[in-house]
């Protein structure tokens, strides 16, 4: 959910989890689906599973992720022109 509501915990919002995914992939490079989810669970909580797919979809639609079907892995795209 992108529009915050009264009961939304911002720690588990699509935008926040998407930011964490970008940070993890910047640091570690290409990661398999399960590895990425495990790292997110370690950094946050098991509740991250509820928004994990939505966050991946959001980043994919923005053109920030590339999915490698044969490896079941994600890598970050388009960061060469961005400023940290």
Backbone angles phi, psi at 32, to 5 degrees: -70, 155
Helices (H) and strands (E) in the chain, counts: 3, 3
- The residue range of the domain holding 23 is 11-76
How far is Cα 13 from Cα 21, in angstroms, rounded to an integer? 12
Please report which confidence band the pLDDT of residue 81 belongs to, taking 50, 70 and 90 as the band edges.
very low
Encoding tokens for residue 34? Answer: 């399960």
- Per-residue pLDDT tens for 2-41? 566 676 777 888 999 999 999 999 999 999 999 999 999 9
- Per-residue pLDDT tens for 39-71? 999 999 998 999 999 999 999 999 999 999 999
Q: Residue 62's domain is classified under what CATH number?
A: 1.10.10.10
**Is 3 within the bounds of a domain?**
no
Instruction: Reduce the DSSP state of residue 32 to 3 states and report it.
Output: strand
Supply the pTM of this predicted model: 0.83
């Amino acid at each position: 959910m992108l529009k915050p509501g009264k009961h939304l915990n911002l720690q588990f919002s699509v935008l926040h989890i998407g930011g964490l995914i970008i940070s993890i992939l910047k640091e570690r490079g290409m990661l398999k689906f399960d590895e990425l989810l495990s790292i997110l669970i370690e950094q946050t909580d098991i509740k991250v599973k509820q928004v994990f797919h939505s966050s991946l979809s959001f980043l994919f639609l923005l053109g920030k992720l590339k999915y490698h079907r044969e490896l079941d892995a994600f890598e970050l795209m388009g960061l060469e022109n961005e400023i940290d």
